[in-house]
């Protein structure tokens, strides 16, 4: 839906760096290197970034 504010498992606030992560990956950087640079160290937080599907734009017209 929309990127979670916090990691489900450890509680780290991860929502704030997601847009930068997306931008940098779309520019051609490797996702793992971008996550390292953004301080997303644990695999619980990393799986949220890697598996997230942004659907909020699809349902926005039906709000």
Partner 1 sequence: MRGLDTSIRVVHMKIEIQEMTHNKGRIVFLDADPSIVNAIRRTMISDVPKMAIEKIEYHLGAIMDEGGKEFESVSPLFDEMIAHRLGLLPVPTDLDVFVFRSKCVCNGEGCPNCTIMYSLNKKGPCTVYSGDLEPLGDAKFKIKDDLVPIVKLNENQAILAYATAELSTGKDHAKYSPVCGVGHRYSAKISIDSAKCDHDARCIAVCPKDVFSKEGKKIVVAHPERCNLCMACVESCELNCVKVQEDPQRIVFRYETDGSLSAKDLLMRSLKILEEKFTGFSEQISALQE
| Binding residues vs partner 1 (CB under 8 A) | 1-3, 5-7, 10-13, 15-20, 42, 56-57, 59-63
Q: Which does 18 bind (CB under 5 to 8 A by kind): Zn ion, partner 1, none?
A: partner 1
Burial of 14 (0-12, 13-18, 19+ CB in 10 A): buried
Cα 31 from Cα 55, distance rounded (Å):
20
Q: Which does 51 bind (CB under 5 to 8 A by kind): partner 1, Zn ion, none?
A: none
Q: Which does 15 bind (CB under 5 to 8 A by kind): Zn ion, partner 1, none?
A: partner 1
């Amino acid at each position: 839906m929309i990127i979670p504010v916090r990691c489900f498992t450890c509680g780290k606030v991860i929502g704030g760096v997601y847009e930068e992560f997306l931008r940098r990956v779309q520019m051609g950087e490797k996702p793992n290197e971008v996550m390292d640079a953004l301080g997303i160290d644990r695999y619980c937080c990393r799986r949220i970034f890697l598996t997230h599907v942004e659907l909020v734009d699809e349902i926005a017209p039906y709000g």
